Amino acid sequence: MTNLHPHAPLRVALVGLGTVGGGVIRLLQTNGNLIARRAGRTIQVAAISARDRNKDRGVDLSPYEWVDDMTTLAAREDIDVVVELIGGADGPALTLARQCLAAGKPFVTANKAMLAHHGLDLAALAEKTGIALKYEAAVAGGIPVIKGLREGAAANEISRVYGILNGTCNYILTTMEKEGRGFDDVLKEAQELGYAEADPGFDIDGVDAAHKLTILASLAFGTELDFGNVAVTGIRDVIAADIAEAAALGYRIRLVGVAENGPDGLFQRVHPMLVPTDHPLAHVDGSLNAVVAEGNFVGRLFFQGRGAGEGPTASAVVADLIDVARDEYGDAFAMPVAALSLQKPADAGRRIGRSYLRFKVQDRPGVLAEIAAATRDAGVSIESMIQRGANQQDGVLMAIVTHAGEERCICETLDRLAGSDSLLGTPMVMHILD
């Protein structure tokens, strides 16, 4: 426990004053009285720190003490909790986290990358000093899904947790879907509108979603964080025709992070999936996020809300501060680090499911027979096939939906076709959410 005196203000040092940091200040200014009623005490920004003091952030920072050297914060007795909004898996954020937690200073962060890579070490530090390490804002923005898993669903053995964890990807995919446009075109617009970064790789290649999935999996299953074993595919290779074919078959395409735990091990994957239109995830549009958890007593829980942006992320950061102010917190990953189990990664090839395969092929006799033979020899059973020619500039598209089967058979199909001069470009494989 820390030196929090009931009813004394909770004095916060805020490190990092980007969009979210500004949002936290605005939120505390706007809702301060209500928050004090709920938290039982005032939550007060006592000190701020960021790289550039002179940048205009559109919020009045004059009431707050500016701290040039954030490494002094951990030792300050007039600071009750440090909020880290710098980002980055390593570097200054990690240094600050380690300093604070080792010194027994409660720590709130939105830093999913740091947690995915160093969460266990940080949780162990927090455990040793008995203080809070909170990170509701790290996953799914304003949606209280960390709390939902850590506490709300805590009575359940959870077999699967999955969701739409990256708003940029979801915005791009749903805009492609609604407007029939191509990936590059929509990405460019998203960058111009500020919905995607100038360097978008972190989002569109699925890395951000993989960080979040790593955290969710640990909370859901009571397993150690294992970012290294998340299989990641982003959305760069989804083309307009995939979305159209999927729609014709009764599916929408979403970037889905899926984690499953069972006797075969821990399975973690981020990839674009075909989601049946009657599944709630198919209706998660634009920059919304959503998370589904399936528990053995509660059944399917579904959480949806705004997954990014100033307001929602600030809402989650301040929710953590309220928990700290109320003295309602415990182990960061729902149990002591030593109680988390080390689960072996599952063999994806043994997973049973249906898949979508799309080939771009030469428009000439024999190609269909070649692909059909490869699927047959690999043991893949075909449920439906669409071939469309004519309007493709180069070659024709062939889309296949398989019956349920082992995923390794899909890989074998592709291996059998590798190097064939019938194929134009790399085939696209997406699995179907059941």
Query: Interface with a second copy by CB under 8 A: which residues?
Result: 23, 27, 30-31, 34-35, 37-40, 136, 142-144, 147-148, 151-157, 222, 280, 283, 295-306, 311-312, 314-319, 321-323, 326-331, 334-336, 339
**Which residues are tagged catalytic?**
212
Kind of pairing between the strands at 107-109 and 81-84? parallel
Amino acid in the structure at residue 387: Q
The residue with tokens 């990690």 is 94
Tokens representing residue 123 in the block: 């949780």
Q: How many CA atoms lie within 13 A of 347 on its CB side?
A: 6
Minimum separation from the CB atom of position 156 to a second copy (A): 6
Report the alpha-carbon distance of residue 308 to residue 168 in Å, rounded.
9
Which residue number, 182 or 309, has a Cβ lying nearer to a second copy? Answer: 309
- C-alpha 243: how far from its chain's center? 22
Of 387, 371, 382, which Cα lies nearest the Cα of 405?
A: 382
22 annotated among ligand-binding-site residues: yes
Nearest by Cα to 173 from 186, 161, 160, 163: 186
Q: Residue 20, annotated ligand binder?
A: yes
Q: How far is the CB of 194 from a second copy (least distance, A)?
A: 17
Nearer to a second copy, 53 or 283 (CB): 283
Give me the least distance between CB of 403 and a second copy, in Å please. Answer: 27
CB 141 within 8 A of CB 208: no
Provide, rounded to whole angstroms, the least separation between the CB of residue 190 and a second copy. Answer: 19
360 annotated to bind ligand: no
Q: What does the alpha-carbon distance between residue 28 and residue 14 come to, in Å, rounded to a whole number?
A: 12
State yes or no: 18 annotated in a binding site: yes
Residue 82 in marked binding region: no
Q: Which alpha helices (H) appear in 40-110, and where do they start and end?
A: 92-102
Q: How far is the CB of 167 from a second copy (least distance, A)?
A: 12
| Angstrom distance (rounded) from CA 188 to CA 366 | 39
Nearer to a second copy, 341 or 426 (CB): 341
16 is in an annotated binding site: yes
For a second copy, the closer of residues 280 and 349 by Cβ is 280
User: Among residues 118 and 306, whose Cβ is nearest to a second copy?
Assistant: 306
Annotated binding site for NADPH: 112
Annotated binding site for L-homoserine: 197
Annotated binding site: 15-22, 112, 197
Annotated binding site for NADP(+): 15-22
